[in-house]
Structure 1
């Protein structure tokens, strides 16, 4: 698996370099149509690099498409790839975007690589092998007091009233609530102990799969909002430090909130 991880890392870094060539911090799209056009072009650019590379590395593994993003996966190996995680940031000249690749085996993430070209940071994880950024180990927060917790989230596509109620509930209990895009970076912050938890409604598989493994391997806990271990097909998620996850789950499990 270490050899496989290095092969995947090299492919992801190569794809990230192609995206970096297309990046400028002065980018300012004029409208949603322009944003979409740029995003599709960048997505095709990276997919054109990664799809044949990953097929050569692991020919038996299938590529997750749109129809699998919110569904349970059939048995076997699957590549969960986000060619440009944080594309909205890329097209607005912000630096929080990345290429992410996760290998899922029988419904469980077993290998993950996240590469942020701006700053040249690469996060890696193997199931049972720990989580790292540029080779340095990651460890989730040791906090146990909810009133000291920093919690992050991502705006859902449709569940805005539930999202607003959840934010209001947590604001009464935690130190700080932040909202950010995309899903991967706040999970990386949970893995590194910079923040204490991340939750999301209406998550898709390619947006959270890498973070699930990185948080877990850094000692964190990842479930859906019913408290079940997170798996493909679960469309909400709570990733947190072990000392605050249970209490946060109890707040977010509130049916009036959800």
Structure 2
């Protein structure tokens, strides 16, 4: 199977999983306890995984599967499927339209191909390492914005139980960006901000900590669309890094300076 055939077949699987979640989307799902919330989130995950897991496993039988979507850090060598079956799951439960399904094939900690499908719009974002980034088959390009002061930037909450030091760092970074950027957006999920960077709609996205499933799809999409990926201090990013920055070339240096301070 060629890389294009692999990508197309993976995209079909991700779109089918998205259809499962679309059928479940609508009124706000009520919950009164943390356990009820976890149960509702798990039900969405299981509905999408019932489609994704068998199809992706058939595509790459030797690729291992990342079982916990919130895990971070480097992966052991070899091929892995890094999947978020309901990216923005809590939004889905609340009837908020910002959610998606993602699947990324990672080889030796480098993303090889990725698919991000947004069921409510029907949009499918794809990227192959060295092959460019696309939206519904059309090439994507990051913005040509020349300075941070003209930029729309975004950040996201990595997880609800972050350490105090991380949440304080997030708050300080938002304050800094409010001074230096034109507009600052803060919401979940990370992936939908990153597809906007790849499409040139926003100019930079940053996050502290974060899961592989949040960042790997967007990292490949942004890179293949001509953007720059680093940590918040401008060093090379890996899944083991404690911060992440994706930006158009014209604003990356200034974004690093703002976040470094």
For 1:128, the equivalent position in structure 2 comes to: 130
- 2:123–2:135 Cα contact (<8 Å) kept: yes
* Residue 163 (structure 1) aligned with residue 170 (structure 2): yes
Q: Number of aligned pairs?
A: 253
- 2:147–2:254 Cα contact (<8 Å) kept: no
Q: Structure 2 unaligned runs (5+)?
A: none
In structure 2, the CA distance between the partners of 1:95 and 1:67, relative to structure 1 (3 Å rule), is closer
For 2:188, the equivalent position in structure 1 comes to: 181
Q: Structure 1 unaligned runs (5+)?
A: none
For 2:28, the equivalent position in structure 1 comes to: 27
SS in 2 for 1:112: strand
Among 214, 219, 241, the residue aligned to 2:248: 241
For 2:72, the equivalent position in structure 1 comes to: 70
Within 5 Å, give how 1:14-163 maps onto structure 2: 14-24=16-26, 26-31=27-32, 32-66=34-68, 69-156=71-158, 157-158=162-163, 159-163=166-170
In structure 2, the CA distance between the partners of 1:205 and 1:52, relative to structure 1 (3 Å rule), is same
How big is the alpha-carbon RMSD for the aligned residues of Structure 1 and Structure 2?
1.5
Deviation at 1:69, TM superposition (A): 2.4
Deviation at 1:243, TM superposition (A): 0.8
In structure 2, the CA distance between the partners of 1:55 and 1:194, relative to structure 1 (3 Å rule), is same
In structure 2, the CA distance between the partners of 1:145 and 1:226, relative to structure 1 (3 Å rule), is closer
Distance 1:71 1:154 in 2: 18
Distance 1:82 1:130 in 2: 22
Q: TM-score, normalised by structure 1?
A: 0.93
Q: Deviations over 1:123-158 (max 9, x none)?
A: 001111111111121110101112101110013433
Deviation at 1:253, TM superposition (A): 2.0
Deviation at 1:211, TM superposition (A): 0.4
Within 5 Å, give how 1:243-258 maps onto structure 2: 243-254=250-261
SS in 2 for 1:237: strand
Deviation at 1:175, TM superposition (A): 0.5
